[in-house]
Amino acid sequence: MHPYHDPLFCKFIVYFNENQDYFECHEVLEEYWKSIPGYTKDHPLTAFILLSTGMYHWRRGNLNGAVRTLQKATGKMLDFSQFDVAYLEELDYELLLKTSEKALQRLKEADNFTPFLIVPTSTRLKKLIENEAGKMQLLPAESDAVIHKHMLRDRSDILAEREKKKGRPD
């Protein structure tokens, strides 16, 4: 199976393009990435995870975090060719790289947040994305529930795990 044909990758594209829910982009793609046997931080999917994280930071006004993260994302995208050529197919890779670099430049100039699209080029991927989109209910792009999602979710399990690692009781 082509790496972009996984339902989780298709959901990532829907979240990225349709309502700019970059937090969910990160969540679904991290789930997909971790399902790959022997996954590492060098895997091409991490470029997309970093891209969505950088966009999330930019939208929320964390320009320093966004610059650092988008620099890592674009660097990883430049390395796609060292992996399977499949990562250069089915998406407009050149446009993705160009718009990511342009976003990074705008960030460095402290410009306003501007979303962009990840453009699928194959009919098969477009149909898979459309199929996933039909099953999803998306929050409005400009809602606090999208923009500030990490602050609004239940984090008790995360906080408990942190305390556990520190050796403190709950």
CATH label of the domain that carries residue 104: 1.10.3450
Tell me which H or E stretch contains 25: helix 22-35
- The predicted pLDDT at position 141 comes to 63
- Residue 102 and residue 133: Cα distance in Å, rounded? 27
pTM: 0.83
- Residue 11 and residue 8: Cα distance in Å, rounded? 5
- The predicted pLDDT at position 163 comes to 73
- Residue 65 and residue 61: Cα distance in Å, rounded? 9
Q: How many CA atoms lie within 13 A of 77 on its CB side?
A: 23
Please tell me which residue, 17 or 79, carries the higher pLDDT value. Answer: 17
Please tell me which residue, 98 or 84, carries the higher pLDDT value. Answer: 98
Average pLDDT over residues 47-51: 96
- The predicted pLDDT at position 151 comes to 55
Task: Flag whether pLDDT at 15 surpasses 90.
Answer: yes
> Considering only CA atoms, which of 58, 155, 169, 47 is closest in space to residue 110?
58
Domain total for the chain? 1
- DSSP letter at 121 equals -
Beta strands in the chain, from DSSP E residues, in sequence order:
none
Q: Read off the pLDDT band of 92 (50, 70, 90).
A: very high
Please tell me which residue, 146 or 42, carries the higher pLDDT value. Answer: 42
Tell me which H or E stretch contains 161: helix 156-166
- The predicted pLDDT at position 89 comes to 82
Q: Read off the pLDDT band of 19 (50, 70, 90).
A: confident
Residue that the structure tokens 């399977």 belong to: 84
Tell me which H or E stretch contains 24: helix 22-35
Name residue 4's amino acid: Y
- Containing structural domain, residue 15: 3-166
